[in-house]
Structure 1
Amino acid sequence: MLIVDAHLDLAMNALEWNRDLTRSIEEIRSRERGMTDRPDRTRGTVSFGEMRSGGVGLCVATQIARYATPGHPLPGWHSPEQAWAHTQGQLAWYRTMEERGELVQIRDRESLDRHLDGLSRSSTEDREQPIGYILSLEGADSLVTLRHLERSFEMGLRAVGPAHYGPGVYAQGTNASGGIGSRGRELLREIERLGMILDVTHLCDDSFREALDHFHGPVWASHSNCRSLVPHNRQFSDDQLRELIAR
């Protein structure tokens, strides 16, 4: 059985947490013993081997870098240009994993069909079979200009989430409030023009409402839950979920 994981911060784990995902999960955890720089050391759950063992043959893999303006409540880069450069380092890691044969980028229907055909001919646990990934940008702060979005599309980016946690350049995210504004509307028009997917995960209620009013292309919520079950603004209300289903 093929499992699709709709959200994995693979490059962030590799570069910010210094986790070699080509190693076993036991090795990754072992190398983190005694480390205290991050709260979840020795608790990693993802490696390429674990993905294959679990039958995950396709995933949505992210680029992520926040731009933190002065007074921003969360840590981040001090300029959009720095954030952009960080996402390009993450892209370089994905390319390196492609060269190694661990990953294959899914850019269109043809590459998806080719990958699924390969999976159907072998076990998803086959260590020689690369894992397919669809590249997604979580939080659009790193897009210095809209031209940077077009460049990213040319490099294989296929989905964009305008916001992450807190206030953002193009939209307001989890624990923030407010709409998307003129820059957000310009971003949505460009996402739609390029035929990309809008990821509404992390959008606060106001930005969610405005985004769906202005965007007419494909939409997904890659990693969200039901607010009625998990009562927090990070999750979606029943009305929001119904609207997403209708789209």
Structure 2
Amino acid sequence: MPSLIFDAHLDLAWNALQYDRDQRLDVLTLRNSESHMITDTRGKCTVSLPAMRQGGVAICCATLLARVLPDGFDQPQHPSHRSPKVAYAREDIDFADSTIAYGTAYGQLGYYRLLESLGEIQLIYTAWQLKNHIDSWQPTSPIGVIMAMEGTDPIVEPAQVKHWFDLGMRVACLAHYGQSAHAMGTGFNGPLTAVGIELVKQMDEQGVILDLVHTADLAINQALDLYSKPVCVSHANVRTLVEGDRQLSDSQIQKIAQRKGVIGIALCNFMLKAGYSQNKLTREEVSLTHVAHHIDHICQLVGNADCVGIGSDMDGGFGVDHIPKELQTISDLPKLADALHVRGFADVDINKILIGNWTRFFAENLPAD
């Protein structure tokens, strides 16, 4: 039987509520319904729950995503009217205040709860639920969902971490693109803010898993000193292969491995092959072989295949035009196994990469029951 897959990063609720994508429909139906309104931030749909079942993606981390626009920047504009000054300000993500970000994220949480009541997903809060879900999963089963906050702007104050944990959030990263209330994110460098330091301490105390994705190098170093438990990086690739602060340095990879963490490889082409972000390459020049390069680099660096998995981000706004050429939808993720076989990976290690490592990580770091 082919291995099941654990995808550590999907934006299911954000796609549903911002782009009117009914996650219960098949991808082709969604593409046809929105063929007249594709933008750079929307992209052509690649993910839905039926496609996940078809590809054996039995479980994922799905986000709560809402950002607060930093002071001193213009208000969000329609993507087609943005100036360079507000290149990371988007009307589909950015909000004026943390209370509005809170309400937006709470609405996304409500969407997940509704999908669960309809039998489409199962929200996973504990290690016991995780094991039971994976052991019993069939292609007709609900998709397992661990709720993860991408950027902690919806947490209005550090003391509210417990509130979000009680609501079901189990993972959080401190920033997204640009500056958050708690840390510098992608495109910036700098330390944690004062309130960010307190937030990390609260996450450590409450048992919220720290995801270091999108976090500036200086802030990563601080967070690793403050947070006592294993950490993860849900969707990032190798800086040695493709430059950029969105990627992980070899030193960071080694630190995450030493903390018994896992890194999810993202399937966005600009993170997979150098030069793609400068539009020097087309989709046809990026393949799952490049994904295997990043996975193999991590394995060679740390000496085993125990700290790498998938964090596809396939519904992260870039669409089918900017994922490896073998992929049309998330149902094609099993093709990665073939690329890893060609690279020389053993079956046991391929299973770790597709599902085993993330399953072990969450089994060890979610509440027991």
- TM-score range relative to shorter protein: over 0.9
- Correspondences of 1:149-164 after superposition (within 5 Å): 149-164=161-176
The DSSP-based 3-state class of the residue aligned with 2:20 is coil
Identify which of 87, 105, 108 aligns with 1:90. 108
Residue 56 of structure 1: aligned partner = 57
Q: Does 1:103 align with 2:121?
A: yes
Calculate the aligned-residue CA RMSD, in Å.
1.3
Give TM-score scaled by structure 1 length. 0.94
Give TM-score scaled by structure 2 length. 0.63
Compute the displacement of 1:217 (Å): 1.5
Residue 237 of structure 1: aligned partner = 249
> Which blocks of at least 5 consecutive residues in structure 2 are unaligned?
74-85, 260-369
Runs of 4+ in 1 over 6 A off after TM superposition: none
Percent same amino acid among aligned pairs? 38
CA distance in 2, matches of 1:112, 1:135: 13
Residue 258 of structure 2: aligned partner = 246
Identify which of 133, 149, 158 aligns with 1:146. 158
Compute the displacement of 1:148 (Å): 2.4
The 8 Å contact of residues 33 and 42 in structure 1, kept in 2 or not, is answered as no
Identify which of 166, 184, 193 aligns with 2:205. 193
User: More deviation in 92-101 or 73-82?
Assistant: 73-82
The one-letter code sitting in structure 1 at the alignment partner of 2:35 is R
Compute the displacement of 1:70 (Å): 3.1
User: More deviation in 24-33 or 139-148?
Assistant: 139-148
The 8 Å contact of residues 191 and 219 in structure 2, kept in 1 or not, is answered as yes
Q: Does 1:66 align with 2:67?
A: yes
CA distance in 2, matches of 1:233, 1:95: 34
The 8 Å contact of residues 70 and 180 in structure 2, kept in 1 or not, is answered as no
> Which blocks of at least 5 consecutive residues in structure 1 are unaligned?
none
The one-letter code sitting in structure 2 at the alignment partner of 1:24 is D
Number of residues paired by the alignment? 240
Residues 40 and 165 of structure 1: is their aligned pair in 2 closer, same or farther, counting only changes over 3 Å?
closer
The DSSP-based 3-state class of the residue aligned with 1:243 is helix
The DSSP-based 3-state class of the residue aligned with 2:67 is coil
Compute the displacement of 1:39 (Å): 2.0
Residues 175 and 40 of structure 1: is their aligned pair in 2 closer, same or farther, counting only changes over 3 Å?
closer
- Correspondences of 1:118-133 after superposition (within 5 Å): 118-119=136-137, 123=138, 125-126=139-140, 129-133=141-145
Compute the displacement of 1:42 (Å): 6.2
Residue 18 of structure 1: aligned partner = 20
CA distance in 2, matches of 1:52, 1:93: 19
The 8 Å contact of residues 196 and 217 in structure 1, kept in 2 or not, is answered as no
CA distance in 1, matches of 2:158, 2:124: 23
The 8 Å contact of residues 33 and 41 in structure 1, kept in 2 or not, is answered as no
Residue 216 of structure 1: aligned partner = 228
The 8 Å contact of residues 70 and 179 in structure 2, kept in 1 or not, is answered as no
CA distance in 2, matches of 1:178, 1:157: 26
CA distance in 1, matches of 2:154, 2:204: 19
Residues 31 and 170 of structure 1: is their aligned pair in 2 closer, same or farther, counting only changes over 3 Å?
same
The 8 Å contact of residues 165 and 202 in structure 1, kept in 2 or not, is answered as yes
The 8 Å contact of residues 30 and 42 in structure 1, kept in 2 or not, is answered as no
The 8 Å contact of residues 172 and 179 in structure 1, kept in 2 or not, is answered as yes
The 8 Å contact of residues 159 and 202 in structure 2, kept in 1 or not, is answered as no
Deviations 1:20-40 (A, max 9, x none): 11011111000101114x326
Higher relative contact order (CA 8 A, sep 6+): 2
User: More deviation in 107-116 or 38-47?
Assistant: 38-47
Residue 116 of structure 1: aligned partner = 134
Deviations 1:199-241 (A, max 9, x none): 0000111111111111112200000100011111100111111
Identify which of 22, 29, 32 aligns with 2:31. 29
Deviations 1:11-57 (A, max 9, x none): 00100111011011111000101114x32656111010110111100
